[in-house]
Amino acid sequence: MALPACAAGVLRPSLQPERGAPARTTCPRRHSRGEAELAESRPRSVAASAREDPPRGVSRGFNSQPPTDEPLKASSSLAGAARAPLFPLLPRGRRGRMHDLRRRWDLGSLCRALLTRGLAALGHSLKHVLGAIFSKIFGPLASVGNMDEKSNKLLLALVMLFLFAVIVLQYVCPGTECQVLRLQAFSSPMPDPYRSEDESSARFVPRYNFSRSDLLRKVDFDIKGDDLIVFLHIQKTGGTTFGRHLVRNIQLEQPCECRVGQKKCTCHRPGKRETWLFSRFSTGWSCGLHADWTELTSCVPAVVDGKRDAKLRPSRNFHYITILRDPVSRYLSEWRHVQRGATWKASLHVCDGRPPTSEELPSCYTGDDWSGCPLKEFMDCPYNLANNRQVRMLSDLTLVGCYNLSVMPEKQRNKVLLESAKSNLKHMAFFGLTEFQRKTQYLFEKTFNMNFISPFTQYNTTRASSVEISEETQKRIEGLNFLDMELYSFAKDLFLQRYQFMRQKDHQDARRKRQEQRKFLKGRFLQTHFQSQGQGQSQNPSQNQSQSPNVNANQNVTQNLIQNLLQNLTQNSSQNSIQKENRESPKQDPGQEQSDSNTSNGTNDYIGSVEKWR
């Protein structure tokens, strides 16, 4: 059977069918010339591959036998001479894919080769550098045999340990924050955990002059005795969070028992079935919902000791504590709470033994609640108890006729309320600020000598912070709460002065302890030194026999020296302690009474000393 006419003059004899093989029935494409050239250049392997895999469009016969030659073995990278002629034989799509694959393979091989050589060079240079360092460090040990092998093994072990530590650190802490912390750990010391939490300047300039007794708040609270902590909870000041800290986050010999699903916890004294805490989460609202200073001072003693006879009542110390907040933020937070339906209708507002009448304390809304009220309506109500709430709840309302506004003029009433709130706040055992959570924790721990388990968290994002108001609205809120603004300024100044005073006192106590330890160790060293000299002289019999008259004299001299040194040390320590006490006690102002020996002439003395210490 003859070939088609189109293929007769094109194909060469090398590509004609073998003897016994049937003729091709299709016409080959134009790439048959390249196949023929490839067959001439490599007659054995390439021709066999050509016979094994004919070009597209050329088919073998039905009864054709497979080629007898061995197939060409595939390799990971073909030789350039064999790959170049075969590449045009492939279809266009397959050629593109092969080209991309070859390019990626070459790029990957190049990267791997560069990486391998780079790591080898780095390891070689590191080996030489560390080898030089080890040779200088372990130079005296160079005489030991096989030192090079041991050093190489040690170097390899150190490198592997370092790499393992880096991998573990990246696995445990892969974030960028941990990387910043690791860099700070090498570059700078640990920051002060009690630095300014409101992102303001760390330096504080006091405005008020307080005495030493006002700044040094240290309560001898005996939890096993009869003392009681009373928490005055003002609305929207973070009192709920602080109240939970008191019952759930404080280290006690007998912790409070808090059951799941119950708000109140049982906080008993060790060995007694009596509470040491009067708060929302321990005794509930026993004196009314959010009872103020006037209600608590008259209600708490009756609630705690009401069932006992007056003669059998113990002499308790009631330690009042509270939390204050920035007036604008507190006002906005209360408005948002009222919008959600809060009313505080259960508040009693008892003063002078009776609650106020509806004429003395009218309501701002007519329905069941004031939910959904806008801010303008909330500010327009003249009877709104949110206005100056902190001053009213911390002052003694009996001084101004309780809620009867006709007893005295408004200006005089405001002045009396503000002074009463400042006095009560200053004489409280403790108060904290919502804007300074860590400092609040620190002062509470120093005041009551009670430690919390976990540190307080400063929440800078609240519902009040999400409210966007104009400057005009903010000024109006400040005007409605002008008494709270004055009280908060006073409280913040006193709070920060107490904090600085307590921190300075801690540093002075730590320095005094270190000095006493140094003096004690120095005295012990001198005593042991003289004793060792005396024992050395007594161990030499020949010298003792020859110098027997002088031995007793030397021993007497050493004993006298030891006694004189110990006396000097004790005198110096006592003099230093007296001088430090005199230095710590501030000078008395001429305008104050002479009976107050602990008063100071301001806070500039200890603040200046703090700056010098820094």
Residues with a catalytic annotation lie at 290
Closest among 246, 251, 240 to 459, alpha carbons compared:
240
Question: Which own/partner contact pairs does 464-470 have at CB distance under 8 Å and 24+ positions apart?
Answer: 464/328, 464/329, 464/330, 464/332, 464/333, 464/336, 465/329, 467/332, 467/336, 469/332, 469/375
- Give the chain's end-to-end CA distance (angstroms, integer): 109
Closest among 262, 302, 264, 268 to 283, alpha carbons compared:
264
Q: How many residues does the chain have?
A: 614
How far is residue 428 CA from its own chain's centroid?
A: 30
Question: Are 129 and 151 within 8 A, CB to CB?
Answer: no
Q: How far apart are the C-alpha atoms of 210 and 220, rounded to whole Å?
A: 21
Cα–Cα–Cα angle for 323, 325, 330, rounded to 5 degrees: 125
Question: Are 155 and 127 within 8 A, CB to CB?
Answer: yes
* DSSP secondary structure of 453-520: SS--------TTTT----HHHHHHHHHHTHHHHHHHHHHHHHHHHHHHHHHHHHHHHHHHHHHHHHHH
Q: How far apart are the C-alpha atoms of 322 and 222, rounded to whole Å?
A: 20
Q: How far apart are the C-alpha atoms of 501 and 603, rounded to whole Å?
A: 9
Question: Are 218 and 446 within 8 A, CB to CB?
Answer: yes
